[in-house]
Structure 1
Amino acid sequence: YKPNKHWSLSFGQTKLPGNRQTVNSSGALQLTDRSINNTKFTIDRDFGFQIHNFNEFENKFSYNFKAALSGGEGRNQTGKADDGVAVTGKIEVLPFGAFTKDGTYFEGDIQREKKPKLMLSGAFQQNNHARRAMGETGIDLFETRTMKSVLLDAMFKYRGWAAMASYMSRTTTDTAITVNPVNAAEINYAYVGSGFDYQLSYLLRSNYEVIGRFSTQKAGDDIKALTPDTNEYSLGVTKYLWEHTFKLQSELTFDKLTFDTGETKNNWYLRFQVEIGI
């Protein structure tokens, strides 16, 4: 293993150093889609500057620092820019050394780590005067809001076992609800709240993998009357034909939505897909 110790500076539109599931490519996922919390709380892509400092070694304590200064409007924004910027910082700690073949960037232990590997990471972003409901993503708000995001991740892999856990949250410095200045009956809101994801998998010698995921998501106090809390349960089976590049994926998911009135709604999803990478 060649130590990875270097600095990098980049400029342009790319993924921000946020939660692990967003940083990973969609082609490196175990299940057919990212979690409900990733959908609501990810800080996604943005245009700006990034600086990364890598200090990764095979079997000894490793760490990475990452920071970004970006516009805060998200991808492909061509309209009027807001008058704020987004500041993002992240630290990653690997107590037992780097994962095999950059294993922090794909889900599941397809490399069958011979020694336990662990990654702990934390990211924080403040998006000043954001115009969109989820900072860099979502519908436009009627007024800008300054948003603060906290994104925590843990990943463990050993001999075909892989476990991941994450916490995500977003708050605003003012009420999350914005009102149309020409029609007070029309509102849009910033999505505030928090959520946890827990994911566990085991890769059989036949390269079949069994995956379970549980996600729980709670809306913030400002918007509880407008959107439900959600619990999601997923069970998946993946067959790796050529690692993550060529695989067959199936997934059964159950959602339970709980509204502020006490009403509940259940949804079932059955998905199958074939991933063929380049």
Structure 2
Amino acid sequence: MLRLSATKNAFGMSRAMVSRRIARKPMNLTHASYSTRSSNQGNSKGKIIVGLGALVAGTTLFNIFYEKENPKSSIDPPLVKRSFPDGAISVIFVLGGPGSGKGTQCAKLVKEQGFVHLSAGDLLREEQKREGSQYGELIASYIKDGKIVPQEVTISLLDRAIKENYNKGQKRFLVDGFPRKMDQALTFEEQIANSKFTLFFECPEEVMLRRLLERGKTSGRADDNIESIRKRFATFIDTSMPVIDYFEKLGKVVKIRCDQPVDEVYAKVKQSIASRSA
């Protein structure tokens, strides 16, 4: 029994069997090594997939919670509400180069047809002189240089003046010398009221220059001098003519030649307003 046991190991395997098993061992080790690498790669891939899945799930849960606490609005932000809806008041813009006779014609319309005449230039000059005005110096410098005062100032003054007169029962307005730029035109119609149409007084430059120099003898206006007048002409061409072109494309411009006698011009003005009011 002892001799037999010496020829076998504890598992009942003979030496020959052990030798054969050892001979095959390198092949099994190689196979085991490959299997281990494949297993490790598979585990790594699995871990990546699991990690990505957890990330996606976490992001989804966060979005659900965030949207619940911060719901998106399905309504666009409201547009700025105009001070006066369509039909509440009638606004006619009165444009033309400096000295084209806008003020003269507006005065006749006020007297005969009951319009309220609001001159943007007059409102700015009054604000400039008003004690304690925060815009006084700014307005003075812009007017002297023939530049256009920032629209926020002018539109604020017009809005206040229109509301004051509306509260007194007035509904027909001539806004003289405004809008001088496209941004003024668009902002006025967005925030205050839609204009009915624009009266555009056409006048040769030499005629306007002569009128302004004559007016400057008694007006006391800082801009009624040859230097400021030239600047105002250039500014009007550059900034105000695009406004005329814009409204003309909308069919909202009436052009009137104003290098004729005052009464002849006024007859055309009345006719134009009557035709637009019909």
TM range (shorter): under 0.3
- Higher share of residues assigned strand: 1
TM-score (norm 1): 0.24
Q: Which has the higher contact order (CA 8 A, sep 6+)?
A: 2
Rg (Cα) greater in structure: 2
